[in-house]
Chains A and B, each alone.
Chain A
Amino acid sequence: MATNEQDFAESLLHIFDNVLLTEGMALSKGYFSDLSIAELHTINAIGPYEARTMTETANMLGITVGTLTVAIDRLVKKKYVERQRDTKDRRIVRISLTRQGKLAYRMHSKFHRVLVKRIMDPLSEEEQVLLTGMVSRIDSYVEEQYKKYSNGEQYKRIVRDDTEV
């Protein structure tokens, strides 16, 4: 049992590291080599359709609006994101992806789809259902752990950002 747990712990960490590393490598060799993984995840959170508010996007990424503003400034400069003022309420700024941003979004989601397909394809349908169920239980558990910590973290981040400014 102990070896099982050890194996599992090692595999989980490996998967986490290697997915990020492979993502990074794929990115640097691909069409969007001027993007970092973090920037790609920001693009992912904005999504290819409706324009989003800064608060909405920051919440989705688990970062402060201050941190997001810096990231968006860079992405606007690189022409992946554009800002528009709300037509009704001029105080609200919305962000959306440019054509180039949408292309990066599509290519990135393809990376994930291909990865999943390669993992799932050799498995039987029964195994696929089993794997999906177990992975989703891991996901729920990790998400729960994150929520336990994130309220405190959020507070810390805000304090830290304020002191930086």
Chain B
Amino acid sequence: MATSRKKSQVDHNSSETQGCAPASKEEVFSTIVGMLSELLNMPTERFLAETEIFEDLPLDSLQLYELVVDLESQYAIRISDEAIEKVRTIQDVVDMICEAEQ
């Protein structure tokens, strides 16, 4: 259930940003979910594209930066504080990474 939901969400948004192909958007999504799951010690099924990072998850500011720093080195990108402030959902993080990669 969770998988099909996240798939449709990713496909649905693929036309909004041109940075990543739908396939790599999915890869980015599962990378983020993997990192969050490890950081928060929660099962991957808990994370959906529409999960709100600050509202729905017990993520403190250090854990947020752990995610940011790990994503920066994984994708060789730079994530600004302004970009982080705009993010609400996991899908937003996916989009942010795809835009940063361009």
Residues of A participating in the B interface, judged by any CB pair closer than 8 Å: 31, 48-49, 99, 102-103, 106-107, 109-110, 113
Contact = CB atoms under 8 A, between A and B. Distances in A.
Given A31-B62, A103-B62, A49 B78 contact: yes
Contact of B69 (A31, A99, A109, A110): A99
Contacts, number: 25
Interface in B44-92: 61-62, 65-66, 68-70, 72-73, 78, 81
A148 B70 CA distance: 43
A99 B67 CA distance: 11
A110 B65 CA distance: 10
What 3 pairs between A and B have smallest CB-CB spacing? A106-B65, A102-B69, A103-B65
B interface secondary structure, majority: helix
Contacts of A102: 65, 69, 72
Given A49-B78, A113-B81, A107 B65 contact: yes
Nearest to A99: B69
Contacts of B61: 107, 110
Contacts of A107: 61-62, 65
Nearest to A101: B69
Nearest to B70: A99
Contacts of B62: 31, 103, 107
B75 to A, nearest CB: 14
